[in-house]
Amino acid sequence: MEHLRIKKYDIGTGRPLMCVPVVEIGQNDIFMAAKCAVDQGAEALEWRMDWFGKIDSWEETEAVLHSLSGICKETILLCTFRSKVQGGQRALPGKEYQLLLERIAESKLADLLDVEVFELSDASAVIAKLHRAGQRVIGSQHYFSHTPDTVWMRQELETMKEAGADIGKLAVMPKEPLHVLQLLEASAQMKKYYPDYPIVTMAMGGLGAISRVSGQVFGSCITFASIGKASAPGQLSIKDTKLILNKISESMDK
């Protein structure tokens, strides 16, 4: 089986990678948060570009990307513009969103680029263009109000795969423990039927905390942890996340 390899990491094997989101407005705060995350052992860094105060200027955005790329020498750099409808900080018209994705890909500065598959009229074409520029893509879908049923979640992850995303990501909001189980079941099914396709899944909020640390069992290859300001409800600290992930990994290796 050939795994997706980014920098020194084989994605989807062993313990889930710890990704720390950077949700700051100004450049200096972005760089300080990024350095802190790397120093604390983050294996991936997500720059939440929708928080950046000067995102409307490509020159300013590219300058930040250059600096983050330098900070993330051995750390995977994931770039994400999370739209308002998907729980982000601002809206961006479809053509502008696609142009931003293309510019990031052409810059060769991001190791991974988040693409909101279901917010695009032709996600397959967009992802194919990003791939031609050499960009690896993580397809994403977020539900901040509810949890779809198991079949629906699996179908959406399959759609991301069919659209060409290198990784599929799904985040949901549980209202009861059963919803967390549905998310984990959908993840386990994907792991069983598509073992060579990496996915990232999580149930948000305190109720879904277990889903953020059980990826090695159910198939999620990346988990998001915070060093301060969280980008989504229910994120654990990187210190606690690392401790729990390592304990689970040790138990599974016995």
Annotation says 66 is catalytic? no
- Assess whether pLDDT exceeds 90 at residue 2: no
With respect to residue 203, please indicate whether it lies within any of the assigned structural domains.
yes
Return the number of other C-beta atoms located less than 10 Å from residue 223's C-beta: 27
Could you report the per-residue pLDDT of 133-146, keeping only the tens digit for each?
999 999 999 999 99
Q: Select which of 169, 179, 191, 242 is catalytic.
A: 169
With respect to residue 251, please indicate whether it lies within any of the assigned structural domains.
no
**Closest C-alpha among 243, 249, 244, 201 to residue 223:** 201
| Residue owning tokens 């020498």 | 73
| 234 phi-psi bin (left φ>0, alpha ψ -120 to 50, beta other) | left
With respect to residue 2, please indicate whether it lies within any of the assigned structural domains.
no
In angstroms, what CA-CA distances link 24 with 28, 49, 164, 211?
Answer: 9, 9, 30, 26
Specify the CATH number for the domain of residue 64: 3.20.20.70
Could you report the per-residue pLDDT of 6-16, keeping only the tens digit for each?
999 999 999 99
One-letter identity of residue 76: I
- Assess whether pLDDT exceeds 70 at residue 131: yes
What pLDDT is recorded for position 230? Answer: 56
What is the residue-wise DSSP string for 13-56?
SSSPEEEEEE--SSHHHHHHHHHHHHHTT-SEEEEEGGG-TTTT
Q: Select which of 54, 95, 108, 142 is catalytic.
A: 142
- Assess whether pLDDT exceeds 70 at residue 229: no
What pLDDT is recorded for position 234? Answer: 67
Could you report the per-residue pLDDT of 80-130, keeping only the tens digit for each?
999 999 999 999 998 999 999 999 999 999 999 999 999 999 999 999 999
Q: How confident is the model at residue 226 (pLDDT cuts 50, 70, 90)?
A: confident
Q: How far apart are CA 209 and CA 24, in angstroms?
A: 24
With respect to residue 5, please indicate whether it lies within any of the assigned structural domains.
no
With respect to residue 88, please indicate whether it lies within any of the assigned structural domains.
yes
Residue range of the domain that includes 183: 14-241
With respect to residue 7, please indicate whether it lies within any of the assigned structural domains.
no
Annotation says 84 is catalytic? no
Return the number of other C-beta atoms located less than 10 Å from residue 97's C-beta: 18
Q: How far apart are CA 112 and CA 138, in angstroms?
A: 7
How many domains is the chain partitioned into structurally? 1
With respect to residue 57, please indicate whether it lies within any of the assigned structural domains.
yes
With respect to residue 253, please indicate whether it lies within any of the assigned structural domains.
no
pTM tops 0.75, yes or no:
yes
What pLDDT is recorded for position 161? Answer: 98
